[in-house]
C-alpha cells in the first residue's frame, strides 16, 4: 500500500489561482453604511470571583478585545445584505506617544481564524508597544459566517481507500467523484450559491480595507502568513494608496494553473521530508539507517501501525494518521528532534512510544495536552463552537474554488494525482484530490492574475528555503512579480518564520514595520 497524508495535510492545500487580469486601483473602503468605529469589548468575561480564564497568558488575555464590523456580502451592492466580520485586538502597550496605528495580522489557510491566532502573544515588545495588534476572521471563517458543508471525512476516507495512488482504479475513481460531488452539493445547499460566489479573496481584500477604515488608519500595516500573503499582495494591487507596510511571509503562487501549483507543493513537502531524514540520520535518535533507505523503512513503520494501531489522545493512529502528524511536524524544524524520537520509539515498539505519540499529537494539532477539538469521529470533519459544528475544510475549499479556474473533468485530477504519486511517495496525491470538489462547484468570479502592485510603497516578502507548504521558489516569484518588493530569505526549514524570535529575520522586519525602513536587498539569514 502507498501512503498519503490525507487527514493531516488537508489544511495545507493552499490557494491556487488562475483567471482574469489585474484589478484597477479601488476606492478606499467604508463599512456598511459608512465608516464606523468598532465597538470593542473584552473577549473573555470574568467569573464571579473576578478571575480570567486560565488558558494562555493572563495579562495578554485580559487585554484582548473583540468586536465586529458589518460589510456588504456583495460589494457591488453596498446597500444590500451584510455579513459581520469578527475581529480581535490587543491595544498598543506603549501609550499614545508611542502608538503608530494598527498592525493587522492574517494566519493563512484559507480558513484559519485570525481571532483564534491572536489569543496568544505575538511579535516583539517594540512592535507591541507601537501597534494595536488586530486580527479578523475572513468571511466564511469562524465568527464571520463560518459554515459546515457536510461529510468531509467521507471524502477523505475515499482518498485513503485508494490502494495504489499511482494507478487509481475505476471503482476508486467513482468513489472519489461521488464523495467530492456530494460535498460540493452539500456546500451549495447549506449556504447557497450566492454566498459561495462572494467568498473569494477579492472580497476578503475589500473587507480588509473596510476594517482599515473602521480602525481609523489612513493606510494599512499588515503581516500575512501563507495564504495571507495573497490577501496582502492583492491589497497592494487594489488599494495602493492606502498601503503603508506589508510583510508577506510564506508566499503562495498567484500565476500558474492549479495542478502545477499542487505539484510544486507536493515536491516541497518531499524536499523538506528529505531534509528531516538527513538531519535525523546525521546523529542522535533516529529510526532510519540513511537517506537512501528511509522511504522503505518509513513504509514498514506505517504498515506496522495499520496492522496494530496505537492511540494518541484517544485517536487511533494508523499509518495515514501518523503520516499526517509527520507532515504537520515538518512545518516547524524545532519539532524535528521530538519527531525523530517518536518515530524511533514507534519503530522499536518501545514502552515510551505511547507517551511520545501523545506529545507529538499535541504539538502538531496545537492542543497542549487537551483532547482534540477538530471533530474527529463526529462525522462532519468539523469543530464544535457554541454547540454548532463548523467544517474545518469548508472555507478552504470554498475560497480555492471561488478564486481559480478549475478543470471540470475529473480525469484531469486523476492524471495529476497519479503523476505526483510517482514523484512524492508520501505527500502528493491528497493535495490534488482535496481540490476535486471544485469540479462540481457553482460558478464564481475568479481572482486576478498578472498584477504587480506597481503603485504600492515598498513591500517585504519572506521565504524559507525548506518550507514544505509554500516552496521558496514561490517567495522568489512573488518578490519578482511585485515591483516594489524586497525578498528576505531564511536558509532553514519550516513554514513561515517572522515573529518566531530569530533576530536576523525579526530585527530588520520590525524596523520596516516601525520605521518603514526596507531590509537590505539580498538579506539571507542562516539556519538554526
- Dihedrals phi, psi of 311, to nearest 5 degrees: -125, 155
Q: CA–CA separation, 434 vs 221, rounded Å?
A: 33
Q: CA–CA separation, 201 vs 447, rounded Å?
A: 7
DSSP secondary structure code for residue 253 in this structure: P
Query: In terms of Cα–Cα distance, which of 188, 245, 191 is closest to 218?
Result: 245
**Continuous segment of H or E residues that includes residue 249:** strand 243-249
Angle, nearest 10°, between helix axes 170-191 and 152-160? 170
Alpha helices in 25-124, H assignment, sequence order: 58-63, 114-117
Under 8 Å between Cβ of 86 and 69: no
Residues in Cβ contact with 34 at an 8 Å cutoff, skipping those fewer than 6 apart: none
Q: Calculate what percentage of the chain has a pLDDT beyond 70.
A: 86
Q: CA–CA separation, 6 vs 409, rounded Å?
A: 22
CA 451 to chain centre: 22
Under 8 Å between Cβ of 104 and 79: no
Domain range 1-528, its CATH number among 3.40.50.2300, 3.40.50.10800, 3.30.379.10, 3.40.50.1820: 3.40.50.1820
pLDDT interval class at 57 (50, 70, 90): confident
Give Cα separations from 162 to 8, 77, 169, 424 (angstroms): 17, 45, 8, 16
Longest dimension (CA), the chain: 67
Give Cα separations from 309 to 51, 305, 348, 349, 379 (angstroms): 42, 4, 14, 11, 20
- At 315 the three-state DSSP class reads strand
Is 495 among the residues known to form the active site?
yes
Mean residue pLDDT of the chain comes to 86
- Dihedrals phi, psi of 426, to nearest 5 degrees: -115, -35
Q: What is the mean pLDDT of residues 314-335?
A: 91
- Among 50-64, 92-106, 138-152, 307-321, where is mean pLDDT lowest? 50-64
The reported pLDDT for the residue numbered 402 is: 87
The reported pLDDT for the residue numbered 371 is: 35
- Checking if the pLDDT of 16 tops 70, the result is no
Count of residues in the chain: 528
Burial of 60 (0-12, 13-18, 19+ CB in 10 A): middle
Give Cα separations from 235 to 395, 482, 485 (angstroms): 20, 12, 14
Query: In terms of Cα–Cα distance, which of 315, 290, 267 is closest to 426?
Result: 267
Q: What is the mean pLDDT of residues 58-66?
A: 92
C-alpha grid cell, residue 495 = 513554514
Burial of 470 (0-12, 13-18, 19+ CB in 10 A): buried
Give Cα separations from 256 to 17, 166, 485 (angstroms): 7, 24, 20
Q: What is the mean pLDDT of residues 261-279?
A: 91
Domain ranges, ordered by start, for the chain: 1-528
The phi-psi region of residue 185 (left if phi > 0; otherwise alpha if psi is between -120 and 50; otherwise beta) is alpha
pLDDT interval class at 515 (50, 70, 90): very high
Under 8 Å between Cβ of 61 and 22: no
CA atoms within 13 A on the CB side of 121: 15
Q: CA–CA separation, 327 vs 269, rounded Å?
A: 8
- Checking if the pLDDT of 50 tops 80, the result is no
The reported pLDDT for the residue numbered 390 is: 55
Q: CA torsion angle for 256, 258, 260, 263 (degrees, to 10)?
A: 140
Query: In terms of Cα–Cα distance, which of 457, 462, 453, 524 is closest to 498?
Result: 462
- In tens, the pLDDT along 103-140 reads 999 999 899 999 999 998 989 999 999 999 999 999 99
- Among 74-78, 281-285, 337-341, where is mean pLDDT lowest? 281-285
Q: CA–CA separation, 139 vs 128, rounded Å?
A: 26
Compute and round to an integer the Cα radius of gyration of the chain: 22
C-alpha grid cell, residue 37 = 468605529
pLDDT interval class at 25 (50, 70, 90): low
- In tens, the pLDDT along 391-404 reads 668 999 999 888 88
Residues 151, 318, 430, 467: which is the catalytic one? 467
Under 8 Å between Cβ of 442 and 186: no
Angle, nearest 10°, between helix axes 353-365 and 336-348? 140
- At 3 the three-state DSSP class reads coil
- In tens, the pLDDT along 204-244 reads 999 999 999 999 999 999 999 999 999 999 999 999 999 99
Residues 353, 358, 495, 510: which is the catalytic one? 495
Q: CA–CA separation, 211 vs 229, rounded Å?
A: 17
Under 8 Å between Cβ of 275 and 336: no
Is 467 among the residues known to form the active site?
yes
The reported pLDDT for the residue numbered 82 is: 95
How far from each other are the two terminal CA atoms of the chain, in whole angstroms?
A: 36
- Among 93-107, 348-362, 436-450, where is mean pLDDT lowest? 436-450
- Checking if the pLDDT of 367 tops 60, the result is no
Query: What HEC string does 407-471 produce?
Result: CCCHHHHHHHHHHHHHHCCCCCHHHHHCCHHHHHCCCCCCCECCCCCCCCCCEEEEEEEECCCCC
- The DSSP line for 270-296 is HHHHHHHHHHHHTSSS-S-S-TTTHHH
Q: What is the mean pLDDT of residues 500-506?
A: 96
Query: In terms of Cα–Cα distance, which of 512, 55, 465 is closest to 244?
Result: 512
C-alpha grid cell, residue 124 = 516583539
Residues 226, 281, 335, 353: which is the catalytic one? 226
Is 75 among the residues known to form the active site?
no
Q: CA–CA separation, 262 vs 2, rounded Å?
A: 19
- In tens, the pLDDT along 147-192 reads 998 888 889 889 989 999 999 999 999 999 999 999 999 999 999 9
Amino acid at each position: 500500500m502507498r501512503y498519503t497524508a490525507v487527514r493531516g495535510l488537508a489544511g495545507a492545500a493552499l490557494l491556487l489561482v488562475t483567471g482574469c487580469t489585474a484589478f484597477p486601483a479601488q476606492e478606499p473602503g467604508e463599512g456598511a453604511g459608512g465608516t464606523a468605529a468598532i465597538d470593542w469589548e473584552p473577549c473573555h468575561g470574568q467569573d464571579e470571583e473576578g478571575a480570567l480564564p486560565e488558558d494562555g497568558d493572563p495579562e495578554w488575555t485580559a487585554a484582548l478585545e473583540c468586536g465586529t464590523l458589518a460589510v456588504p456580502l456583495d460589494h457591488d451592492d453596498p446597500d444590500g445584505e451584510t455579513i459581520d466580520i469578527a475581529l480581535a485586538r490587543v491595544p498598543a502597550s506603549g501609550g499614545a506617544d508611542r502608538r503608530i496605528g494598527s498592525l493587522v495580522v492574517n494566519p493563512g489557510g484559507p480558513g484559519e481564524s485570525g481571532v483564534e491566532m491572536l489569543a496568544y502573544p505575538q511579535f516583539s515588545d517594540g512592535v507591541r508597544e507601537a501597534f494595536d495588534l488586530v486580527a479578523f476572521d475572513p468571511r466564511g471563517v469562524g465568527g464571520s459566517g463560518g459554515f459546515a458543508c457536510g461529510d468531509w471525512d467521507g471524502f477523505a476516507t475515499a482518498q485513503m481507500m485508494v490502494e495504489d495512488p499511482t494507478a487509481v482504479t475505476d471503482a476508486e475513481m467513482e468513489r472519489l467523484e461521488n464523495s467530492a460531488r456530494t460535498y460540493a452539493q452539500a456546500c451549495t445547499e447549506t449556504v447557497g450559491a450566492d454566498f459561495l460566489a462572494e467568498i473569494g479573496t477579492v472580497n476578503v481584500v475589500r473587507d480588509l480595507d473596510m476594517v482599515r477604515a473602521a480602525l481609523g488608519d489612513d493606510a494599512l500595516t499588515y503581516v500575512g502568513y501563507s495564504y495571507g500573503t495573497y490577501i496582502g499582495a492583492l491589497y497592494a494591487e487594489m488599494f495602493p494608496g492606502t498601503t503603508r507596510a506589508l510583510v508577506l511571509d510564506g508566499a503562495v503562487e498567484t500565476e500558474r494553473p492549479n495542478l502545477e501549483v499542487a505539484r510544486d507543493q507536493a515536491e516541497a513537502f518531499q524536499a523538506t521530508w528529505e531534509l528531516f531524514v538527513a538531519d535525523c540520520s546525521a546523529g542522535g535518535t533516529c529510526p532510519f539507517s540513511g537517506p537512501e533507505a528511509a522511504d522503505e523503512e518509513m513504509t514498514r513503520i506505517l504498515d506496522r501501525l495499520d496492522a496494530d494501531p496505537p492511540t494518541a489522545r484517544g485517536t487511533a493512529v494508523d499509518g495515514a494518521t501518523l503520516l499526517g502528524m509527520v507532515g504537520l511536524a515538518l512545518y516547524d524544524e524545532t519539532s524535528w528532534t521530538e519527531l525523530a524520537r517518536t518515530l524511533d520509539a514507534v519503530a522499536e515498539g518501545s514502552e515510551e512510544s505511547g507517551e511520545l505519540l501523545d506529545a507529538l499529537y499535541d504539538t502538531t494539532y496545537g492542543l497542549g495536552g487537551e483532547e482534540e477539538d477538530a471533530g474527529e469521529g463526529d462525522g462532519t470533519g468539523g469543530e464544535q463552537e457554541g454547540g454548532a459544528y463548523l467544517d474545518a475544510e469548508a472555507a478552504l475549499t470554498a475560497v480555492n474554488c471561488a478564486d481559480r479556474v478549475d478543470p471540470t473533468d475529473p480525469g484531469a485530477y486523476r492524471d495529476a494525482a497519479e503523476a505526483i504519486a510517482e514523484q512524492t511517495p508520501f505527500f502528493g496525491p491528497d493535495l490534488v484530490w482535496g481540490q476535486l470538489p471544485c469540479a462540481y462547484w457553482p460558478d464564481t468570479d475568479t481572482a486576478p492574475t498578472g498584477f504587480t502592485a506597481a503603485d504600492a510603497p515598498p513591500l517585504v516578502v519572506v521565504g524559507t528555503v525548506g518550507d514544505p507548504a509554500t516552496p521558496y521558489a514561490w517567495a522568489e516569484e512573488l518578490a519578482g512579480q511585485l515591483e516594489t518588493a524586497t525578498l528576505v530569505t531564511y536558509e532553514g526549514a519550516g513554514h513561515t518564520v517572522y515573529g518566531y524570535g530569530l533576530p536576523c529575520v525579526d530585527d530588520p522586519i520590525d524596523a520596516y514595520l516601525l520605521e518603514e525602513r526596507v531590509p537590505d536587498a539580498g538579506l539571507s539569514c542562516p539556519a538554526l
